[in-house]
A and B are shown apart, each in its own frame.
Chain A
Amino acid sequence: MDGFFNKIGELFSTPEYINSLLHGFLLTLQIAYFAILMGLLLGTVIALIQTAKKSKLMILPKFICNLYVTIIRGTPMALQLFIMFFVIFAVRGFPQIIIAIIAFGLNSGAYVSEVIRGGILSVDKGQTEAGLALGLSRTTIFFRIVTPQAIKNIIPALGNEMTTVIKETAIVSMVGMYDLNMAAKDIGSGQNMASYIVPMVVAALFYLATIYLITFAVKQVEKSLRKSDLRVEK
C-alpha cells in the first residue's frame, strides 16, 4: 500500500507525468465538449425534421434522417471513428482533434435526435389539437406548448447522453490520440513509471469527477424544472 501512495506522490510531483495527464484530460474535455455541442445541434435539427408534419417536401429529408440514425445506431462507435480517420479524412495533416469531434458529434447527434424526438412525441397530442382549434399557428404551438413540456422529459436523458460521449471519447487512443486514457497508459508504461495501476486509477478518478459534476448539474436543472409542476397555486 505504501508503494501505491508513493507512486501517487511520484505521479503528481513529476512535471512530465502530471503535464501529460493534464494534457490528455484537456484533449478529452475538448473533444467531448465540442462533440456534445455538435450532437445537440444536429440532434435537434434531425428531431425537428422527423417530427415535422408529413408532406411531399419532407419525404427526402425525413428519409435521409432515418437512414443516418439507423446507420449510426447500428454500427460500433470505434468503427465510425476508424472510417472518419482512415477513409473520409485520410488526408495528411488534417487536425486529428477536428476529425474526432466530427466523429463523436455525428454519433451523438443520432442518439440526441432520438431523445428529443421521444420528448416531443411524449407531449399529449390533445394540447396541440386544442391550440390548432383556437386558430394558433404550428410555430406558436411548438414554442409555447410543446417545447416547454418536452424539455422536462428530455433533460435527464440528455444528461445521460453527455456522460456517454465523455466516456466514449476514450477510444480515440485507438487512433493514436493522446487523450486522458492514452496518457494513463503512456505514463504507466515501462519507460516511464513502469506501473499501470496508479495512472489508471487517477485517470478513472478524473473521468468519474467530470461525470459526477455533469450528473449533479443535470439533477439541479431537473429539480428547478420540476418545481413548476408543483407550483400549483400562488
Chain B
Amino acid sequence: MSLLSVVNLRKNYGENKVLRGVNFVMEEGERVVVLGPSGSGKSTFLRSINRLEEPTSGDVYFNGTLITDKNIRKMRQDIGMVFQHFNLINNLTIMDNLILAPVKLKLMKRDEAIKRAKQLLRHIGLSDKADAFPASLSGGQKQRIAIIRAMMMRPKLLLFDEPTSALDPESIGEVMSLIRELADDGMTIMIVTHEMSFAREIATRVVFIDEGKIIEEGEPEIFFSHPKTPRVREFLEKVL
C-alpha cells in the first residue's frame, strides 16, 4: 500500500484550469522534488494534497484512506507542511507555536509537548528563543522553527512549499541542511523548489509539472542528465 496516491486530480479557478488530471503515487521513505515553471500548478498540486486547496475533482488517498471533508482534519495531523513564508503564529511565543497543535489536539500532554519542543529547539540551536515572539527572529530561524513545528506532530509525510524562496542566501543554507538532516533520518518528503542543485542532491525522484500535468518523472541523475521530453530539456537549459 502506497503512502500517498493521487488519482486524476483537477483544479479549476473559474475558466483557468490549473491542474488537468494529475496522477501520482508515493511510497514511504521517498523524497520527491516537484519542479516546473512558475504557474505550472506545482504549488497547487502540493496544497491539494492536504486540501488547503479544494480540488475540483479527483481523489487523494493517504495511507490507504480516501481523504474526505470528514476525515481531513485527522489526515492533516499526519501530513506536515512548511510554507514559503513560514507562517508562524505572530501572537504566540515560539514555544506556544510548537506545542499549540499537539496539545490542543490531545496528541501529547502539555509537559510532554514542552519536553519534545525543547529537544527540537536544542537540536536546531535555538533553545534561547523559546519565549521569543516570531517578530524577533530572522527568516532562516523562522523557517527552521516552522520545520520543527511540523515535526512536533510526528508526521508521516512532510510537504515543503518553496521553503527557501523567501530567504537570503545565508539562511537558505541553514534551512537546507535541516531538511537534509530530516531526509537522512528517513523522513518522507515532498518538496516544491527552484533550487536545482538541492533538488538533485536530496531527491529520490523528480517530478516535472507543466500546464497542470506531470509530463516527466524519474530518478534525479537521469532526469537532470538525460531528460526525455523537449519541454524538460528546454527548462533545464534555462535554469542550470
Which residues from chain A sit less than 8 Å from chain B, CB to CB?
Answer: 124, 126-127, 129-137, 140, 144-145, 148-149, 228-229, 231-234
Total interface residues in chain B, CB < 8 Å: 33
Cα A143 to Cα B104 with chains together (Å): 12
Closest to A148 in B: B91
Contacts of B52 in A (CB 8 A): 129, 132-133
Knowing A127-B90, A133-B81 touch, does A232 contact B153 (C-beta < 8 A)?
A: no
Q: Are B104 and A140 in contact (CB under 8 A)?
A: yes
List A contacts of B61 (CB < 8 A). none
Q: Report the tally of A-B residue pairs with Cβ distances under 8 A.
A: 80
Are A136 and B101 in contact (CB-based, < 8 A)? Answer: yes
Q: Footprint of A on B, CB under 8 Å?
A: 50, 52, 73-77, 79-81, 83, 85-92, 100-101, 104-105, 129, 131-133, 135-136, 146, 149-150, 153
Q: Are B90 and A144 in contact, CB atoms less than 8 angstroms apart?
A: no
Structural contact, B132 and A131, CB atoms closer than 8 A: no
The CA of A136 and the CA of B50, in the complex, are separated in Å by 13
Q: Given A135-B73, A135-B74, A233-B131, are A130 and B105 also a contact pair (CB < 8 Å)?
A: no
Chain A residues with CB under 8 A of B74: 135
Q: Which of A126, A129, A233 contacts B132 (CB under 8 A)?
A: A233
A199 to chain B, nearest CB (A): 49
For this complex, 19 residue pairs linking A to B, each with C-beta atoms less than 8 Å apart, are: A126-B86, A127-B87, A129-B87, A130-B88, A130-B89, A132-B52, A133-B79, A134-B101, A134-B149, A135-B76, A135-B101, A136-B104, A144-B89, A144-B92, A144-B100, A148-B91, A149-B90, A228-B91, A233-B132
Output the nearest chain A residue to B91 by Cβ-Cβ distance: A148
The smallest C-beta distance from A57 to any residue of chain B, in angstroms, reads 14
Q: Are A133 and B131 in touch, CB under 8 angstroms?
A: no
